[in-house]
Amino acid sequence: MEAEEKLLGTRVLAFIKKNIVMLIALMAAVVTMFIVPPDEEYIGYFDFKTLTCLFCVLAVVCALKNINFFYMLARKVVRLFKNARMSILALVYITFIGSMLIANDMALLTFLPLGYLVLTTTGKQKYMAFTFVMQNIAANLGGMLTPFGNPQNLFLYSKFEIPNLEFMAIMAPPFILSVLLITLCCIIFVKPEPLDVSDERIVLEPKRTVIYLILFALSILIVFRGIPYLIGLVIIPAVLLFMDRKALKMVDYGLLLTFVFFFIFSGNMARIDAVRDLLSSLLEKSTLLFSVISCQFISNVPSAILLSQFTDNYAELLIGVNIGGVGALVASLASLITFREYVKSNPGKTKYYIGMFSLFNFGFLIVLTVFMLLLT
């Protein structure tokens, strides 16, 4: 009996750690429901297109991950380089590009294990913390260029119906600067030491690969408003139910529920006069700066959902909640994922990691924020 209770306690603790942002969102939603009791206006809080797009992208990415598609591509890229500097730079770039295509959280879950494998099998563990930090920054900042790269992008893109070219034009300056900063850090802090990655043969199943890539293209078309999102909601789960049910189980439903709870929270906050007046006043002074600061306390996704209720300046809000994803450990869910993965593999170096994480993240945050404030 005591063993069962201990096991249950361990599972509960693991669930809380894994879904801390979702649970905070739930508590925030419940608190505001006492202030603004549920009524017919609640249904208007939810952005069903954002939820559908996020679900479709996550489901297809999970299916591709299950056939080792991204892992195989990453290994091929890393094997092209023969020294530590270029290999780590390749790992970071893979994460950077991956976040633009498969969302930042999935990019980290896919490519962090590869970084760990490369460094441990080649005896370069001394670069482990630095590589994880750079991959984390790359995931947060790389996803800013595309509507589906970060969850908050998908929401703002849908809510304000931002044209595709305008979206990329808004995000291009901080994106380019981020690429330069990440590249510079890798060149400065990693030596060009000889490195050899062991060969590993991975064979993809042609039929599944083609079908999953078609589904991925379909999910991207939904994001870019090429086809109605309800079509994807029917086709993608139906195909995966037949071909890979595990992918549907692997979808980050905690992230989807986080969106649902924050939709309730932000919708209720927008109906409280004192809150609406305060936030509207702050955002009028500097939407960009206030959204960056907000991310450091309540993370970037809830900041985007909440602040979008009080401003029409979507350009500065979009920039703010993207560059605001770096900085504090709680500034983005991606950062918490990276921290969890690093501690799991290096349990005795938590303080060292947090110190390095804070140094680089706040450095990036200050440079990017000052640059964008001067530019806007």
| Structure tokens that stand for 49 in this block | 């297109």
- pLDDT at position 151, please? 83
Place of tokens 């023969």: 82
State the helix-helix crossing angle for 333-345 and 104-121, rounded to 10 degrees: 20
Are 36 and 268 in contact, with CB atoms under 8 Å apart?
Answer: yes
Are 22 and 258 in contact, with CB atoms under 8 Å apart?
Answer: yes
| Structure tokens that stand for 251 in this block | 């979808």
| Structure tokens that stand for 255 in this block | 């992230």
Place of tokens 């994880």: 132
Instruction: Find residue 83's DSSP bridge partners.
Output: 194
Cα pseudo-dihedral 120, 81, 358, 316, rounded to 10: -140
Are 305 and 321 in contact, with CB atoms under 8 Å apart?
Answer: no
- pLDDT at position 309, please? 87
| Structure tokens that stand for 53 in this block | 């797009």
Q: What is the pLDDT along the chain (376 residues), one digit of tens a residue?
A: 566 667 677 777 777 767 777 888 899 889 999 999 999 889 888 878 878 887 888 898 889 888 888 777 767 767 777 788 988 998 899 899 888 877 787 788 778 878 887 888 778 889 999 999 999 999 999 889 888 778 889 889 988 999 989 999 999 999 999 999 999 999 999 998 887 666 666 778 889 999 999 998 898 788 777 788 888 899 999 999 999 999 999 888 887 888 788 888 878 887 888 877 888 888 889 999 999 998 898 788 888 988 998 899 999 999 999 999 999 887 887 887 788 778 877 877 888 999 999 999 999 999 999 999 999 7
Are 89 and 190 in contact, with CB atoms under 8 Å apart?
Answer: yes
Place of tokens 């996550």: 58
- pLDDT at position 211, please? 93
Number of alpha carbons in the 13 Å side-chain half-sphere of residue 60: 26
CA pair distance 142, 138, nearest whole angstrom: 5
CA pair distance 319, 64, nearest whole angstrom: 30
Residue 170: phi, psi to the nearest 5?
Answer: -65, -40
Place of tokens 């693991």: 14
Model pTM score: 0.78
* Number of DSSP helices (H) and strands (E) in the chain, helices first: 19, 0
| Structure tokens that stand for 336 in this block | 């918490």
CA pair distance 33, 62, nearest whole angstrom: 34
- pLDDT at position 200, please? 66
Q: DSSP for 98-117?
A: HHHHH-HHHHHHHHHHHHHH
Q: Which of 171, 175, 157 is nearest to 223 (CA)?
A: 157
